Amino acid sequence: MVANIKKSELIKLAGDQVRDFNAGELKNAGFLPLDGRCFVQMHYPPALYFPPVTEEEFFDGLDYKPSDPFIVYAHIPFCINRCIFCHFYIKTGASPEEKDKYLDTMEKEMDIYLDRLGIDKINTSAVNIGGGTPTDMSPAQLERFLVFFTRRLDLSSCRQTTWDVDPTTILGADGMEKLKLMRRYGADRITIGVQSFNDFILKKMNRAHTGRDAVDALKQAREAGFDNVCIDLIYGYPGQTLDGWVDEMETAISLEVDSMQLYRIRVAPIGHWANSIEKWWAKRQNDFPAYDETLIMRRIGYLMSEMNGYSDRHYTGLYTKKYEGISLYNKAHTAEFFDTIGLGPSSRVLLKNRLGMNARGGIETYTSLINQGRSAIEVGKLTTKEENQIRYLLGPLKFMREIEKEYYRKMTGVPLDTVFQKKIKMMKDFNLITEDDKKLMLTPRGHFFSDEVCVQFYQRKYLPFPRSSYAEGEFNPYNGLDS
């Protein structure tokens, strides 16, 4: 073991702690879904429920100064394979000509934003370039993107630029050239989509890389000058075992990555694009690790991280040795509600309580809208007072474990002590939440079940699972907030 504890002792310790959290009690109370599924809280309201919106409706009344800060996300949808677990919009098998055309469109989209917002450059606080696989382009295409992208941004106050990449796309001479281009244009953090080091599991995921490729990609990123390297790992996947998950964590820790994003396999949809994992669950649920085993895997990830100098105190689920190891874009987007410009199909946009999503119809819809000189935003809404009272609570509570009451009052105009009091009292009685005069905080039990805590505050129309998924206890979310 990396830490001074035997594998069997670690698994027993994690199991004992999970039993102390007593998931059975929470299932009987209607807090946890009976079938063990988990909905991952990222944004509220969920984009799945955004209605159609016109460009005129979305941008009406917006007024920005050149100094107003934004965070920027660029979606490059190209991938080698479609992974079984992926919920996002991607395109496989794109030709070089299709990728060039896509870059043409994104360059035009940036100019449309500058025009609509009445600014010459986007004052950028943090950047995330993801997908898809943004490094599934040639070095020449990558440089072309970086040139037009950075020319339209004011990066003088940018705190961090993160790239999300797949291992095979940064290997070899071409891969090193891409990594050096990214560094030259300001990238200071990289997230490598490892997902697993186990070749058997990778094959089940339909990943394009091997465990050896993942290790080589990490080394190559270091050689290119990246000193802030994160990896993604998935647990709860079909074929995984407790022993195997310990081995995955041990490999990651031995490679001295700077941070690790540990994901429970997402069966419930979080995007508009169907994937194979939902069908797999519906047909052969027994292929997946048992619910209790999945919870133990989560606790193993926590324990092994803490034992080896990592912590997720800065951002739930992302274990890092330093504050800079987290994605400042993700924190600003999900927990701090920065105005967000999203480029490319399926990207999310947040502008002063306006939530939007680009081109659900994919590249074809995206290209058509932009070539008409219009924004790519296809669905969206101005959030209501009630929705804001929920989303300004859930973001900090989920990702930061706590929310300051004065911050909540400032953002919503109402004291936190005057809303959701019945729900908060119930969760305090079940040792999920605690509070003092200044903060509302998750307990260790609440932190472990943070996604389910958040769902308790959802309006009925946004709940991810039907009423029958829950026991008819006091926590059944359909007995909660009105729609």
DSSP string covering 362-376: -HHHHHHHHHTT---
Q: How far apart are CA 392 and CA 8, in angstroms?
A: 42
Q: DSSP secondary structure string, 258-276?
A: SEEEEEE---S--SSS--H
**Total count of residues recorded for the chain:** 483
User: Does residue 144 have a pLDDT over 50?
Assistant: yes
Q: Check: CATH 3.40.50.720 for 47-334?
A: no
At residue 270, the pLDDT reads: 60
Kindly report, as residue ranges, where domains of CATH 1.10.10.920 are found in the chain.
9-38+386-479
User: Does residue 480 have a pLDDT over 80?
Assistant: no
User: Does residue 396 have a pLDDT over 70?
Assistant: yes
User: Does residue 273 have a pLDDT over 90?
Assistant: no
Residue among 433, 428, 355, 442 nearest 398 (CA): 442
Q: Report yes or no on whether pTM surpasses 0.85.
A: yes
> Identity (one letter) of the amino acid at 116?
R
User: Does residue 303 have a pLDDT over 50?
Assistant: yes
| Mean pLDDT for all residues in the chain | 94
At residue 152, the pLDDT reads: 98
At residue 483, the pLDDT reads: 41
User: Does residue 400 have a pLDDT over 70?
Assistant: yes
Q: Is the backbone peptide bond immediately before 15 cis, with ω within 30 degrees of 0? A: no
The stretches of 118-227 forming alpha helices (DSSP H) are 139-151, 172-184, 199-205, 211-223
**pLDDT tens-digit map of 421-463:** 999 999 999 999 999 999 999 999 999 999 999 999 999 999 9
- Average confidence (pLDDT) over 280-294: 92
Kindly report, as residue ranges, where domains of CATH 3.20.20.70 are found in the chain.
47-334
Q: In the CATH hierarchy, which fold is given to the domain comprising 9-38+386-479? A: Arc Repressor Mutant, subunit A (1.10.10)
User: Does residue 122 have a pLDDT over 80?
Assistant: yes
Q: Which two tokens stand for residue 56?
A: 């005129």
